[in-house]
Each structure stands twice: as structure tokens, then as C-alpha cells.
Amino acid sequence: MYDFTFEITYDAGADEYVDLFMDRDSLRSEAIYSCLDPSELWTLESVTGDPADLAAVDDLLLDESVERESISGRECNSTRTTSLLTEEQRRRVTYTYVSEVDYCEAVPLIAAKYIDGGVLFEQTRTGDTVRWRVLVQDDSKIGLLYDTLSAKLGEGLSFSFKHLIEVTNWESGLLSRADIRAEQREILKVSVDRGYFETPREVTLDELAEELELPRSTVSYRLRRATAELAKRFANQQL
């Protein structure tokens, strides 16, 4: 397998969805894309951030008329449906299905024209940058994909190649969190953001409990469980 990684950087005003991430530092999006042919694709996207920043992005997340796939500036001619799977204080998870594609210059759909056998995509969005990781079985057509993606970029977008490497495993941040329960993950995120793990600590357990509007014992228990799962995962990866 080969991991082809690149970044697309956006100027302000080039994409209204990316503009939200540029204006709100806490926002981060991680998405998994799957595309078996150039006529359809699906996306599982997790967006995290401060509650006020997430509230600002909610409308665009669920608005099926908002174009979030195209890199050329031309709107896709396709059918797009989006469902909200998870709604937490600091996290949203959506599922999007794009079908009946007549025209759409999206990274997964472009790749499907060149690479046979299916491709897996991971996308990370922060600030003005969208980072793509593409997992393929054969790297023989990566050069064609690279040239096409570079040529398709719309005004205000720039392409930056990172690496093409052969891999035996592929860690995905979006998928690897599945063994941490949603309520534990939320408390862990808030604890990190508020400096609970700093030395000295910038926030107490009582202050976290007050902010989350939960009993101190509940916050303590969920935080212990989350950190225990992360420790086990780290130990297993080192074996």
C-alpha cells in the first residue's frame, strides 16, 4: 500500500466553509472519504471545537446546497444528502452521500478516474489548510493524479506535495477513537483545552465539572477511563 499525502491551502474568501475554520482557531475537521467510482462518494466527518465556534458551523454542515467537495470553484452537478449522526457540546459528526454525479471536481472523484480497485481518503481541515492522505494499492498513476489535482485548483487555492511512501499499516485519527466513549472524549477534549494536563494545572477538576455542568465524581471517572484507554492503546502500539 502507498500513502500519498498533500495539502491544499485556501486564500480568504475562496471557500465559505474553509473561511469558518480560518476565522475560528478552535475548529478542526477530520473526515474519511470512500469512492468506488466517479459517480458517487460518501463522507464521514467529525468537526470539533469550542461550543460557540461549532454553533457557527452548524448551518453549513447540514445545508445540502453548500458546496464542500469541489476544488475547482465550479459547483458539482450531483445529488447530495447529509445526516447529523452525533451532536455533542464540542463535536459534530455528519454523514454525507454524493450520488448521481454528472460533474464534480472533488479529490476522491478525480482519483477514481485514475486509480482502480478503490481508494481510501483521510482529510484534516484546520485554519486555511486542508490536508489529504490517500491510501492506494498501486502508485503507478499517482503522477497523473498529482498533475490533474494541481491543474484543477480554482482561484485562491494552492497545492503542496508532502510525501508518497509505502506503508504496511495506516492509522486514522477519526477511526482510532472508536474505543473511547463519546462522553469520555468530550471531557478529555475540554481538559486538554483548559490546561488540566499542564504543569502546573491551569484548571481544577471542580472548575471542569462546573463548566461541563456535571458532578465532580462523573468528570473524574470519565477522565480516568479516557486516559486509561489512551494509555492502553499507546502500550499496544509499542509492542
Task: For 141-178, give one letter per residue: b (16+ CB within 10 A) or e.
Answer: ebeebbeebeebbeeebeeeeeebeeeeeeeeebeebe
Whether residues 34 and 104 share a domain: the answer is yes
pLDDT at res. 233? 66
Can you give the residue range of the structural domain that contains 119? 2-170
Backbone φ, ψ for residue 210 (5° rounding): -65, -45
pLDDT at res. 118? 61
Q: How confident is the model at residue 12 (pLDDT cuts 50, 70, 90)?
A: very high
Whether residues 46 and 134 share a domain: the answer is yes
For the ranges 39-48, 50-59, 227-236, the lowest mean pLDDT is seen at: 227-236
Report the alpha-carbon distance of residue 54 to residue 111 in Å, rounded. 31
Question: Mean pLDDT in the chain?
Answer: 85
Residue 96 has pLDDT above 70, yes or no: yes
Whether residues 166 and 190 share a domain: the answer is no
Domain count, the chain: 2
Question: Which of the pair, 136 or 10, is modelled with greater confidence?
Answer: 10
Statement: the pTM of the whole predicted model exceeds 0.85 = no
Q: How many CB atoms lie within 10 A of CB 6?
A: 20
Average pLDDT over residues 33-48: 87
pLDDT at res. 141? 84
Torsion sign, CA atoms 111, 172, 177, 186: negative
| 32 within a domain of the structure (yes/no) | yes
* Four-CA torsion 124, 130, 134, 140, nearest 10 degrees: -170
Whether residues 145 and 68 share a domain: the answer is yes
Whether residues 217 and 135 share a domain: the answer is no
Whether residues 191 and 137 share a domain: the answer is no
| 151 within a domain of the structure (yes/no) | yes
pLDDT tens-digit readout, 80-94:
899 999 888 888 999
**Percentage of the chain modeled with pLDDT above 90:** 33
Q: How confident is the model at residue 43 (pLDDT cuts 50, 70, 90)?
A: very high
Residue 176 has pLDDT above 60, yes or no: no
Average pLDDT over residues 129-138: 89
Whether residues 208 and 131 share a domain: the answer is no
Whether residues 97 and 157 share a domain: the answer is yes
Whether residues 33 and 88 share a domain: the answer is yes
CATH of the domain at 218: 1.10.10
Q: How many CB atoms lie within 10 A of CB 232?
A: 11
Question: Which of the pair, 26 or 170, is modelled with greater confidence?
Answer: 26
| 154 within a domain of the structure (yes/no) | yes
Whether residues 108 and 64 share a domain: the answer is yes
pLDDT at res. 178? 47
